[in-house]
Amino acid sequence: MTRSSPALFAIGLIVVIGSAGCAQKSVPPSTLEPTAFGAALVESSGGKQIGATGAVLGEPVVVQVNDEQGNAVPGALVEFSGPAGVNFDPRAGLADSSGQFTSNVELGGVAGRYQITASTLTKTQKRVDLKLEEIALGYQAQVGHQLDEKYCVRCHDPESTPERVSNYDNLETKPHAFTDGDTLNKMTDADLTAIIGHGGPALNRSALMPPYGYTLSKTDAQALITYIRLISDPPYQGPGMMYVQK
Amino acid sequence: MKKPLFAVWWTLFGDPVRAFGVVSLLLLISLAIAPAKNHFSEWRHYQDQYLSLIRGRGDAVTLQRHLQGGIQQIWLPDLGVVDRCTTCHVGLKEASLADVSMQPFRRHPVIPHKLDEFGCVVCHRGQGAATTVEEAHRSTLAWEQPILPARYLEASCGQCHRAALTGTPQLNLGRTLLARYGCVSCHTVKLPDGGTMQATDDPPSLSHIADKTTREWIYAWLKDPQAYAVSATMPNFKLSDPDARDISAFLIANSTPLPEDTATLPASAPKAPPDPTTAASLYGESFCASCHAVQNAAGNVVGGDIGPELTRVGSKVKPEWLQAWLRNPRAYDAETAMPHYRFNDQQVSLLSGYLEGKADSDLLANVHLDVATPEQIAHGKTLATEYGCAACHEISGIKKPENFAPELTRIGSKPITQLIFLRGMPHTLPDYISAKIRQPRSFGAALKMPQFSFAPAQGDALTTALLSLTDRSQNLPRALTVPAPRPSDYQPAGKAGKLMADLACFSCHTINGRGGDMAPDLTWEGSSVQRLWLQAFLKNPNTLRPSLIRRMPRFNLSDSEINELTDYIMTVYQTPAFDRDSMPESGYPAAQVEQGKQLFYAKYACQSCHIVDMKTDKGYIGPTLTQVGSRLNAAWIYNWLKNPQALRPAAMEPNFNMSDEDARALTAFLMMQRNSGKQEAKK
């Protein structure tokens, strides 16, 4: 008896500690009970954003729950999910009075495209999904993004803001937006290196595109290409993949 | 109970021979433990997994040849690095593994450093010497340095790189915010080179505050600065009503009047703005919006952030003070970033009337303060001292406190055991710092740190900047540090120097490494422009870059002031790189001019960014060149064409690697562009 009492005590202690540990880890009971059900999910804002790897996107992702008639459904349950490494704050919740649900998205630590899914339940407990895509820039693409902001966007981005007026409309030969995958994906890395380094005439294109080979380093040009490849729409498949497809 | 035990003992050791056998077996097993542990180790499992992963690939032979079995180690005594990460992360250097997304076999993304020179933990943290997944990546009993989340990875660059890097926008922003929001006014941050981080915000002195505003406004401001101006950098100290009442009482009672502030305008000046559009256009023409923002109806804050937001300025400032300020801001604050505009009485009256109109009647509607008692004033002083108001603001009677808040020089290496976490909070340093920035008072209602209003991205940037302040950043070998350029304290001399200070040129222009980045660098301005043009520009600045919304304002300078400035700029701000008289201003042969024109439009397509002929050219990224022949010096144009970045390192115009002949022809063509001069002569 005297010998077994420490053992019993130890077992008891383990049980107590274990249960305490479990109590800490156990998820609090979900208070999210949908008060309404929608039929469709639409994106309000926040898709196709560009952020750094692991960073929280600049704008939150906002989705709206609609019913069959396209009217907003307040109180519907919306849940976000995504690949490993992607975090949502909050992950799930009820749509607000205008039928919208807002979540801040933290991208994963690996550069690339991230597909995130928002989902809601219909009256018949059927899941409705909305897929959105976000892009995470790695170091190289981040450098390219910064260089783009300084040297390229003024002409290559047709969008004007009060702070940065676009020069696109002033150019006789229109430059291609960097997201224009239909055009840029057909060009090899060597093509892009040539046109960045030696200007448009290097590829028999307009001289309105000046040479940057004496202003930017080779690493800079490579960074720009990495960035352009990452943000292109439709996505760039890479030379290897193209070969396989052919 | 005892009997079966005895039976077992007897079965094993009852017979000497059997006992010998059993002991030998035990010995054998114990000897096998070490090799077995090695055999079943995690890293061996990963290396085997890697082998089966590469087996099917085309370059399997090459990959296999690169793979060295066993425990791998990067040892860098200078950095104190013993990294065994490459034992499991075997494919880090394999460029051909770009398509592999499975860890630990992923290729390392391209970065400017070599793995063998810096190891892994310098950037990623974690325990380099550990050989199990758990111990290498997470904080365990024996270790407390977990892997740094990708979200804050730029912090690691900041350990060695003190200057801003292109690839680390988050870190750069964080460092700017630390200075701009006055964090370093309370928290000391010592830099490895011996200096300390300096705040870049310019909190106003409160010694004459009663001239400027009312006690009611101070009360409302103290209660919630962002209610007055959403972009205000002043944090919310969450003061109780009596505390805000007492501090406002103290500040008013403590204030001493300045004679200039009470001087009213002469009676001849119009009292009220005769026409609101005239006043608004004066506000626009003076480019007030280059530095001051106003919140528009949509809630967006539009305008610059050098000066305070003016959305509700009419509810804040007293009319007499505002007029005195507009007449000469330097009388109230000698160090202000605001230029002395030399407005005439009518303009002062117009502008002050316009700004007084920017009022919000709701702001002070519920503020009713009784006359302050001496006890309240004394309590207000105690509170102002306790909350460290004088760490940022100058307050007569209260000394600027030293080391008011904990020093943050090594915050990025603070051991987790020294931190007190909140319930339910992940026990990591980044989470702690981030929570402290977002909700400082959640760590205790009695804490003094105020509530800032940072956007999530700003909070992350600040956390990143703080995480870069590590032990390693302080102890780095000198050869590995990349110091920031030394802050310049350049001060132009003489009368012109005083004039430049009065006009606050450095708020927008950089000269010799000191100043703002809103406007062009003027370090070599004397080599760049022609004297007559500079005089005319200072008298009435015209638009050079149509795409910019921030422009040089008109300061209403007198002729003698303009001459003083022009003389100084033309004499002192000369580059040693070339002689400004080395190229003629005119007299270029027509053939060369024509060749230059061809080059301008065809070979170099300069019209994509510049306008020479208003009728045909449209590009407006660079300055308009219609009158460049009467604006710029010929030798400057030539040398600029040869290498723009050599003259202004931040220049956007690419270097075309132009031949001397081309550059000379283009210079000839550009020097002929004096259209307006010709037209004026005709008139």
The answer to whether residue B565 sits within a structural domain is: yes
Same domain, B166 and B77: no
Complex ipTM tops 0.90: no
Q: Is the pLDDT of residue B129 over 80?
A: yes
End-to-end CA distance of chain A: 80
pLDDT tens column, B447-471: 899 999 998 889 999 999 999 999 9
Same domain, B345 and B238: yes
Same domain, B59 and B132: yes
Smallest CA–CA separation between A43 and chain B, in Å? 22
Same domain, B257 and B170: no
Among A52, A146, A155, the residue with its CB nearest the CB of B166 is A146
Task: Please give the pLDDT value at position A243.
Answer: 40
How far is the C-alpha of A88 from the C-alpha of B313, rounded, in Å? 39
The answer to whether residue B580 sits within a structural domain is: no
State the sign of the Cα–Cα–Cα–Cα dihedral B393, B396, B399, B404.
Answer: negative
Chain A CB contacts of B609 under 8 Å are 167
pLDDT tens column, B499-510: 999 999 999 999
Using the CB atoms, write b or e for B61-91: b if 16+ within 10 Å.
Answer: eebeeeeeeeebbbeeeebebbbbbbbbbbb
Same domain, B464 and B374: no
The answer to whether residue B579 sits within a structural domain is: no
Residue B571 CA, distance from chain mean position: 34
State which H helix or E strand residue A93 sits in. strand A92-94
Reported confidence tier of residue B406, pLDDT bands at 50, 70, 90: very high
Reported confidence tier of residue B207, pLDDT bands at 50, 70, 90: very high
Domain with residue B286: its CATH number is: 1.10.760
Chain B CB contacts of A169 under 8 Å are 618
Query: Parallel, antiparallel, or unpaired: how do β-strands A100-106 and A112-121 relate?
Result: unpaired
- Among B516, B541, B572, the domain-final residue is B572
A86 or B544: which leads in pLDDT: A86
Percent of chain B topping pLDDT 70: 96
pLDDT tens column, A148-203: 999 999 999 999 887 788 999 999 999 999 999 999 999 999 999 999 999 999 99
pLDDT tens column, B269-319: 555 556 778 888 999 989 999 999 999 988 889 999 899 999 999 999 999
B292 burial type by CB count under 10 A (0-12 exposed, 13-18 middle, 19+ buried): buried
The answer to whether residue B340 sits within a structural domain is: yes
- Tell me the two tokens of residue A11: 């077992």
Mean of all residue pLDDT scores within chain B:
90
Average pLDDT over residues B370-380: 92
B2, B5, B97, B110: best to mutate for the A interface, most A CBs within 10 A: B110
A14 or A126: which leads in pLDDT: A126
How far is the C-alpha of A53 from the C-alpha of A85, rounded, in Å? 10
Q: Is the pLDDT of residue A21 over 90?
A: no
Of A131, A126, A142, A15, the closest CA to residue A82 belongs to A131
Q: Please indicate whether, in this complex, the C-beta atoms of B106 and A110 are within 8 angstroms of each other.
A: yes
Same domain, B441 and B370: no
Could you tell me the residue range of the domain that residue B85 belongs to? 42-147
The answer to whether residue B581 sits within a structural domain is: no
Smallest CA–CA separation between A56 and chain B, in Å? 7
Tell me if the bond preceding A90 is cis, omega within 30° of 0: yes
Task: Please give the pLDDT value at position B274.
Answer: 62
Provide the number of structural domains found in chain B: 6
Out of A11-25, B149-163, B372-386, which region has the weakest mean confidence (pLDDT)? A11-25
- Residue type for position B13: F
Cα angle value B570/B571/B574 (rounded, 5°): 80
Same domain, B359 and B304: yes
Strand order in the sheet with A40-45: A40-45, A61-66, A100-106, A87-89
Q: Please indicate whether, in this complex, the C-beta atoms of B655 and A167 are within 8 angstroms of each other.
A: no
Same domain, B228 and B162: no
CB-CB contact of A231 with A184 (8 Å): no
pLDDT tens column, A37-61: 888 899 999 988 998 888 888 889 9
Q: How many CA atoms lie within 13 A of B540 on its CB side?
A: 0
Average pLDDT over residues B135-163: 87
Q: Please indicate whether, in this complex, the C-beta atoms of A142 and B657 are within 8 angstroms of each other.
A: no
The answer to whether residue B300 sits within a structural domain is: yes
Task: Please give the pLDDT value at position B131.
Answer: 87
Q: What is the pTM of this model?
A: 0.88
**Is any Cβ of chain A less than 8 angstroms from the Cβ of B111?**
yes
Same domain, B507 and B601: no
Same domain, B100 and B228: no
Among B460, B549, B657, the residue with its CB nearest the CB of A162 is B549
CATH of domain A139-240: 1.10.760.10
Architecture in CATH for domain A40-137? Sandwich (2.60)
**Ranges of CATH 1.10.760.10 domains, chain A:** 139-240
Q: Which 3 state secondary structure label does DSSP give A131?
A: strand
**Is any Cβ of chain A less than 8 angstroms from the Cβ of B202?**
no
Average pLDDT over residues B600-613: 93
List Cβ neighbours of A11 (8 Å cut-off, separation of 6 or more).
none
Reported confidence tier of residue B266, pLDDT bands at 50, 70, 90: low
- Residue type for position B200: T
End-to-end CA distance of chain B: 125
Tracing tokens 């892994």 back to the chain, one arrives at B120
How far is the C-alpha of B659 from the C-alpha of B664, rounded, in Å? 9
Same domain, B165 and B279: no
Smallest CA–CA separation between A110 and chain B, in Å? 8
Task: Please give the pLDDT value at position B278.
Answer: 86
Task: Please give the pLDDT value at position B595.
Answer: 96
The answer to whether residue B32 sits within a structural domain is: yes
Task: Please give the pLDDT value at position B272.
Answer: 56
pLDDT tens column, B3-27: 888 888 888 888 888 889 999 999 9
Q: Is the pLDDT of residue A77 over 50?
A: yes
Tracing tokens 């050098």 back to the chain, one arrives at B306
**Ranges of CATH 2.60.40.10 domains, chain A:** 40-137
Task: Name the range with the highest mean pLDDT among B8-12, B136-140, B151-155.
Answer: B151-155
The answer to whether residue B87 sits within a structural domain is: yes
